[in-house]
Amino acid sequence: MAGNQTPLIGVLALQGDVREHDETLRALGYDTVLVRTPADVSRVDALVIPGGESSVIDKLSRIFGVREPIVSRIQGGMPVLGTCAGLIMLAHTISGGIHDQQTFGGLDITVARNAFGSQAESFEADLIVDGVAAEPIHVAFIRGPVITDVGRGVEVISTLPSGQIVGVRQGALVGVSFHPEVVGETRLHRWFVESLVRDAMANR
């Protein structure tokens, strides 16, 4: 484990936009490690699960032996931020998942994969994310999922003008449908570390 004063933030480095998340966190001054092994999972104070292909992340997590350690750490209260495919990996239930697709779980939600269509239909938007900033943050949607159902313990922190749910929090877990890291937006990462991660470290 990292020390109580300086959090060590892991970025799950199996597939997806790993570099963008790592660079965003490092630009904010945080210590990071690329997580590929069970030993990596055990030493981090928090984890970021990047966007990419959720089915591939699922398969590789089992091949690399990190699935069960991640599930255990989530159940033990480790803060996790999941973006796009990372949100899918945190959901309890997937609509439109491939056969035998598994998730890490933790968020009592249902998500629909690829709800915004193909990559050619990607778009950018300015969204309010409750608790992160008073002003909207600029984000990108790239074949993102939509949250179609939330459980009692889940707080909705961001929606589109259409009312579609694109951001939730449950305890120390945060899942969003969008990518802040690919457009240079840093406020979500800073809030995650300065609020959720530091609070979790102070209370353990």
Could you say which of 181, 185, 189, 194 is catalytic?
181
Kindly state the tokens that stand for 157: 């922190």
Kindly state the tokens that stand for 56: 């591939």
Closest C-alpha to 170, from 95, 114, 87: 87
Q: Which residues contact 5 (CB under 8 A, 6 or more apart)?
A: none
148 by DSSP, 3-state: which? Answer: strand
Count Cβ atoms below 10 Å from residue 77 Cβ, excluding itself: 12
Query: Which residues are paired to 9 by β-bridges?
Result: 32, 46
Count Cβ atoms below 10 Å from residue 36 Cβ, excluding itself: 18
Q: Any catalytic annotation for residue 21?
A: no
Q: Any catalytic annotation for residue 181?
A: yes
Could you say which of 21, 84, 185, 189 is catalytic?
84
**Dist CA 171 CA 155 (whole Å):** 9
The gap between the terminal CA atoms of the chain, to the nearest Å, is: 12
Q: Which residues contact 101 (CB under 8 A, 6 or more apart)?
A: 54, 55, 58, 94
Could you say which of 179, 185, 189, 194 is catalytic?
179
Task: Give all strands (DSSP E) within 88-177, no chain letters.
Answer: 91-95, 107-112, 123-127, 137-141, 146-150, 155-159, 165-170, 173-176
Q: Any catalytic annotation for residue 194?
A: no
Give catalytic residue positions.
Answer: 84, 179, 181
